[in-house]
Amino acid sequence: MVDYGKKLAPSPMTKDVTITNIVDEHLLAYNAARLREACQLLAREILQPNTLVGLTLSGALTPAGLGVSCIVPLIEAGWIDWIVSTGANLYHDMHRSLGCDLHGIVPYWDDLKLREEKLIRIYDILFDQEVLFKTDAFVAQVVSAPEFQKRMGTAELHYKLGRYVCERERILGISSKSVLSAAFEAGVPVYTSSPGDSTIGMIVAARRLAGNGLSMDPEQDVNETTAIVYHAKKTVGKSAIVILGGGSPKNFALQTEPQLQEIMRIPEAGHDYFIQVTDARPDTGGLSGATPSEAVTWGKIDPNQLPDTVVCYCESTIALPIMTAYLLANATPRPLRRLYDRRDEMLNRLLEAFVKNAETSAT
């Protein structure tokens, strides 16, 4: 017999409608329903003590204010355990922490005129060129400090940088936190999968050319993120990946499972939960080659967990505020796991498994 599913029983909205009522009772079909499923899956299953949650960020989310308004509250509630972000999102999120202003405008401007007036436009966001120069000077000064004069992974770089950002927010009396300062305080490791592809990477490169000792270690990032997922599956219980957009951050978070299974030959089944918000399409190659079912073929997603995967074809700037508000109303905050402080412990556990499996395979 055909399962007819949930009866669609719409009701009129009222003036006192809540975010919970909107999501549970009014997002009934199409991608609205996928957004409802993502919200409910997070609140009811994923954000439990036995699941580690990784978040990936691509697209210009933080200039639009979503770092302050959404990502920071998720971090502080203990719902985000580790992050993979484009460097641009981390860079632009520092502007407000340094006392700089960004403005909302209509997106129809003469860009040659804006260039003449030294104004920068990100679609309908506008700010003075001096905002970039001020942020550049801050980052360049910070990475010249003695503690940065070595090779390090991006989690260590961002943690140390986040401490300086946090202190600058305190000095300036800025109450709203950036992603880096919130992650620093919560011990949430933040990785950049393409560290050279952002202004932070450009500054590090220029300073290194001038004799600075800082360099970034992508192999360390690969091993640390893989160690986090191995820790999630073997010690905590389950692993969830929440993807905003796609691109390099998405693959970097998902490749942790092929790293375990294919490269290190450690028996594993894939991530247990997969939520993606995207406006890309798989048939043009723009979905980074991984819908949940396609990701199963790579070992990225546990095939037994496909019912616990959701792809919502929607812009992240629409979906993320709704998801955040729903979680704040319906999910229970979790204790901070402070995975940054446990990186060596998790790496040692991964190395032991790698060596043991290699010895077993050789016999």
pLDDT for 306: 67
pLDDT at position 51 is 97
DSSP assignment string, 36-93: HHHHHHIIIIISSTTEEEEEEE-SS-TTTTHIIIIIHHHHHTT---EEEE-HHHHHHH
pLDDT at 363: 58
Mean pLDDT over residues 296-309, rounded? 72
Average pLDDT across the chain, whole number? 92
Q: What is the pTM of this model?
A: 0.94
Is the pLDDT at 286 greater than 90, yes or no?
A: no
Q: Which residues lie below 8 Å from residue 344, measured CB to CB, with a gap of 6+?
A: none
119-122 and 125-128 strand pairing: antiparallel
pLDDT of 288 reads 59
> How do residues 37-66 score in pLDDT, each as one tens digit?
999 999 999 999 999 999 999 989 999 999
**Residue 211 backbone zone (phi > 0: left; psi -120 to 50: alpha; other: beta):** left
Within 8 A by CB and 6+ apart from 152, the residues are: 214, 215, 216, 217, 220
Compute the distance between CA of residue 179 and CA of residue 337 in angstroms, rounded to an integer. Answer: 17
pLDDT of amino acid 303: 73
Contacts of 139 (CB under 8 A, 6+ apart): 91, 94, 161, 199, 200, 203
Decide which of 270 and 200 is more confident. 200
Confidence class for position 289, pLDDT limits 50, 70, 90: low
- CA atoms lying within 13 Å on the CB side of residue 136: 12
Tell me which residues are annotated as active site: 300
Q: How many CB atoms lie within 10 A of CB 337?
A: 22
How would you list the strands of the sheet with 119-122, edge to edge? 103-104, 125-128, 119-122
Of the chain, the end-to-end C-alpha distance in Å amounts to 52
Cβ atoms 246, 276 nearer than 8 A: yes
Please enumerate in sequence order all residues whose Cβ is within 8 A of that of 210, keeping only pairs 6 or more positions apart, or say none: none
Give the model confidence (pLDDT) of 68-114 as tens digits.
Answer: 999 999 999 999 999 999 999 999 999 999 999 999 999 898 999 99
**How many CA atoms, within 13 angstroms, populate the side-chain half-sphere of residue 320?**
26
Using the predicted structure, report yes or no on whether residue 125 has a pLDDT greater than 80. Answer: yes
**Which domains does the chain possess?**
19-357 (3.40.910.10)
Give 140-152 pLDDT, tens digit per residue: 999 999 999 999 9
8 A C-beta contact, residue 208 and residue 214: yes
Across residues 126-130, what is the average pLDDT? 94
Q: Give the H or E element holding residue 278.
A: strand 273-278
The answer to whether 123 touches 194, Cβ cutoff 8 Å, is no
- Are 291 and 39 in contact by the 8 Å Cβ rule? The answer is no
